[in-house]
Amino acid sequence: MPLKIVRTGTWLYDGSVERAVDIISLEYDWWYSLAEGDGQLEEGEMPLPLGPDGCLYYVRFQKALEPSEPTWVDSYGDVELANAMKTAEAKVVGGIRWL
């Protein structure tokens, strides 16, 4: 289940320190897999359905630009890239410059 970086950008932490952000696609529900691995699934809990592209899109700040797994994500999975980008933008002050 490969991790694929599909969009990268930068934003300014505290208005002055440039930081990276990326959007990755995964062919599974990352949060579901984490809960499953930790034995934390609730009875009947199911993974999010994948989107039309066969994946879910996640925002990453902590592990931005790291191309391998294991990884950590900073959002829930979204079926559309544009929505994941909006989620990232809502998490920072001053916006994101997408590359």
**20: CB partners within 8 A, 6+ apart:** 8, 9, 10, 61, 64, 65
**Residues paired with 21 in a beta bridge:** 9
pLDDT reading at 1 higher than 70 = no
Looking at residue 27, its amino acid is: E
Q: Can you tell me the distance from the alpha carbon of 92 to that of 99, in angstroms, rounded to the nearest whole number?
A: 16
pLDDT reading at 54 higher than 70 = yes
Q: Could you tell me the residue ranges of all domains in the chain?
A: 4-98
- pLDDT tens-digit map of 28-41: 999 999 999 999 99
Q: Can you tell me the distance from the alpha carbon of 92 to that of 42, in angstroms, rounded to the nearest whole number?
A: 32
For the chain, what is the mean pLDDT?
A: 96
Of the chain, the percentage scoring pLDDT greater than 90 comes to 98
